[in-house]
């Protein structure tokens, strides 16, 4: 099939023409969530970015096998002494709770489910097999019941750092002695298998100890199993490039001598107050807090489709900062785009078109073929919207054929590719509409220097639990 898609490959550090291994098919693996807590909005951005990529691959005619794992094996510790079974922390109960929660949130954002969603705990045997194989190749060693990947030995024949661009000398000089590192030959070595301490709940038998696999290994095991020793696309957030993905490259090469992935794609971070949104620092907002308005950051609640639109306004490789103003602007844009889509079916047609409709449609494809440039796609969709609004106003014309074509493509790009959905309630509820009218009347009163009326409106609204704020950016309001 003809293919114009260019994508930025972290491995080569440049945009490349995408050539899948098997014509017409794409194998894509994306690192999934750790299900020991709720996903925050930053996590969601990465999953939404790859959903958009998956959707555009489908729209381009590819048959895609999209694998996104669930990290459910990990470091839960608890004292098991003197408690009944039902009193004890049961990891699989926690895993179940947060997996269900994760799926609910993904659905609200209108993300397609992956075609395979494997769990780390369901692939312990595969992880043990790879560990044995890397040991056999002499690129790992056993130490006190744990197995470590020998980074320096690997680096004698390969290049540890080829993905992230890090240099092994700098990595060595940058490491200090940390706790527990005495088991390792070098601080750079990472665990393929860890012996479990007595308090560690999740454990499996292995040739080396009762223990659990190292985190990097699960993605190598599951991607190889479902997509092959070399596959097309591996994705994840930028913060996983090193060490997680670097270790995956090393494990893949050590395991079967092949470059495991042809195209590495990394999505950039969502920030809040200029800092990476991250669970560990507490600098987060949860999706549900945003949808219900139950948070201290935003002035009101936002619909998931408005949040998705907000994310699509940025390129997936750019940092995106989250704020009340940005979301409120996104809401206006979203409503504007949706209102044009609603008008499409009732648009008047003429014998010819005053603009080149095929060129407009081509611009949608050009934007997305350029490394999934959704902000340019949206700009082009808004240009089409401006043209259609002129048609509606009678100052431009469109033919019946062109309207049908444009309509079909605009809907395809907005709904199928960007994954947006028409929602009546998104910011366009009756309270919003009524508030727009009231604030306009108040502005008119202020313009007329009728301070009595303007203050009366504000005070009455305050009594009704609606706080009006006059700021540099204009007037905003929030309801308790
Ligand atoms: P985790 O559950 O921590 O492994 O994270 C799941 C995914 O979310 C990974 O691909 C991370 O790279 C990504 N991620 C974590 N924090 C952010 C953030 N602030 N913005 C965007 N993606 C993030
Ligand atoms: Zn991973």
* pLDDT one-digit tens code per residue, 122-171: 999 999 999 999 999 999 999 999 999 999 999 999 999 999 999 998 88
Residues with CB under 5 A from ligand 2 (ion): 31, 219
At 480, the pLDDT band (50, 70, 90 cuts) reads low
Q: Is 285 in the pocket of ligand 1 (CB under 6 A)?
A: no
Best residue among 41, 43, 74, 274 to mutate for probing ligand 1's pocket (most ligand atoms within 8 Å of CB) is 43
At 31, the pLDDT band (50, 70, 90 cuts) reads very high
Q: Is 164 in the pocket of ligand 1 (CB under 6 A)?
A: no
Q: Is the pLDDT of residue 325 over 80?
A: yes
Q: Is the pLDDT of residue 80 over 60?
A: no
CA 51 / ligand 1 centre spacing (Å): 14
Best residue among 237, 242, 244 to mutate for probing ligand 1's pocket (most ligand atoms within 8 Å of CB) is 237
Alpha-carbon distances of 439 from 263, 417, 476, rounded to whole Å: 51, 37, 9
- CATH (residue range 270-417): 1.10.730
Q: Is the pLDDT of residue 15 over 90?
A: yes
Atom of ligand 1 nearest to the CA of 271: 19
pLDDT for 463 equals 86
Alpha-carbon distances of 353 from 36, 53, 108, 348, 411, rounded to whole Å: 56, 33, 38, 11, 19
What are the residue boundaries of the structural domains of the chain, listed by start? 18-267, 270-417, 429-479
pLDDT for 180 equals 55
Average pLDDT of every residue of the chain: 93
pLDDT tens-place string over residues 336-370: 999 999 999 889 999 999 999 999 999 999 999 99
Helix axes 374-393, 400-411, angle to 10 degrees: 150
Q: Is the pLDDT of residue 429 over 70?
A: no
Average pLDDT of the segment spanning 306-315: 98
The structure's pTM equals 0.88
pLDDT tens-place string over residues 439-475: 888 988 988 999 999 889 988 888 888 888 887 667 7
Alpha-carbon torsion (253, 218, 146, 179), positive or negative: positive
Best residue among 120, 239, 284, 285 to mutate for probing ligand 1's pocket (most ligand atoms within 8 Å of CB) is 239
Q: What whole-number distance in Å separates Cα of residue 414 and Cα of residue 419?
A: 6
At 173, the pLDDT band (50, 70, 90 cuts) reads confident
Q: Is 31 in the pocket of ligand 1 (CB under 6 A)?
A: yes
Question: Coil, helix or strand for 190?
Answer: strand
Q: Is 65 in the pocket of ligand 1 (CB under 6 A)?
A: no
18-267 and 270-417 in the same fold = no
Question: Coil, helix or strand for 78?
Answer: coil
pLDDT for 440 equals 86
Q: What whole-number distance in Å separates Cα of residue 155 and Cα of residue 153?
A: 5
- CATH (residue range 18-267): 3.40.50.620
Q: What whole-number distance in Å separates Cα of residue 172 and Cα of residue 317?
A: 29
At 174, the pLDDT band (50, 70, 90 cuts) reads confident
pLDDT for 78 equals 63
Q: Closest Cα partner for 130 from 255, 223, 246, 215?
A: 255
DSSP string over 284-323: ---HHHHHH--SSS-SS---HHHHHHHHHTS-TTS-EEE-
Higher pLDDT, 74 or 480: 74
């Amino acid at each position: 099939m003809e293919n114009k898609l260019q994508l930025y490959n972290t491995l080569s550090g440049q945009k490349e023409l995408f050539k899948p291994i098997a014509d017409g098919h794409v194998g894509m693996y994306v690192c999934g969530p750790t299900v020991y807590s709720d996903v925050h909005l930053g996590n969601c951005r990465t999953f939404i970015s790859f959903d958009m990529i998956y959707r555009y691959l489908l729209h381009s005619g590819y048959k895609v096998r999209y694998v996104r794992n669930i990290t459910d094996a990990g470091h839960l510790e608890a004292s098991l002494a003197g408690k009944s079974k039902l009193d004890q922390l049961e990891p699989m109960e926690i895993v179940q709770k947060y997996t269900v929660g994760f799926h609910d949130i993904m659905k609200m954002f209108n993300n397609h489910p992956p075609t395979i969603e494997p769990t780390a705990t369901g692939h312990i045997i595969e992880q043990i097999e790879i560990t044995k194989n890397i040991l056999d190749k002499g690129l790992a060693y056993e130490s006190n019941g744990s197995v470590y990947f020998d980074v320096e030995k690997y680096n004698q024949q390969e290049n540890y750092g080829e993905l992230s661009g890090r240099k092994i000398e700098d990595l060595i000089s940058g490491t200090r002695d940390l706790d527990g590192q005495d088991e390792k030959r070098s601080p750079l070595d990472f665990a393929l298998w860890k012996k479990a301490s007595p308090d560690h709940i999740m454990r499996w038998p292995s040739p080396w100890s009762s223990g659990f696999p190292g985190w990097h290994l699960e993605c190598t095991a599951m991607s190889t199993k479902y997509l092959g020793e070399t596959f097309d696309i591996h994705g994840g957030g930028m913060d996983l490039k090193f060490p997680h993905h670097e270790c995956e490259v090393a494990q893949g090469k050590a395991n079967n001598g092949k470059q495991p992935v042809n195209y590495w794609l990394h999505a950039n971070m969502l920030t809040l107050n200029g800092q990476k949104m991250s669970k560990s620092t507490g600098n987060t907002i949860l999706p549900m807090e945003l949808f219900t308005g139950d948070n201290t950051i935003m002035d009101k609640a936002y619909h998931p489709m408005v949040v998705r639109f907000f994310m699509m306004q940025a390129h997936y490789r750019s940092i995106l900062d989250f704020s009340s103003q940005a979301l409120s602007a996104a809401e206006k844009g979203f409503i504007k785009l949706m209102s044009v889509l609603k008008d499409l079916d009732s648009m008047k047609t003429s014998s010819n078109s005053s603009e080149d409709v095929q060129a407009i449609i081509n611009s949608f494809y050009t934007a997305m073929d350029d490394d999934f440039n959704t902000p340019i796609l949206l700009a082009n969709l808004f240009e089409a919207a401006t043209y259609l609004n002129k048609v509606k106003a009678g100052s431009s014309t469109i033919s019946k054929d062109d309207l049908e074509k444009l309509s079909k493509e605009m809907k395809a790009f907005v709904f199928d590719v960007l994954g947006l959905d028409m929602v009546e309630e998104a910011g366009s509820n009756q309270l919003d509409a009524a508030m727009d009218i009231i604030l306009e009347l108040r502005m008119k009163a202020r313009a007329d220097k009728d301070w009595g009326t303007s203050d009366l409106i504000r005070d009455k609204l305050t009594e009704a639990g609606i706080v009006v704020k006059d700021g540099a950016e204009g007037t905003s309001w929030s309801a308790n």
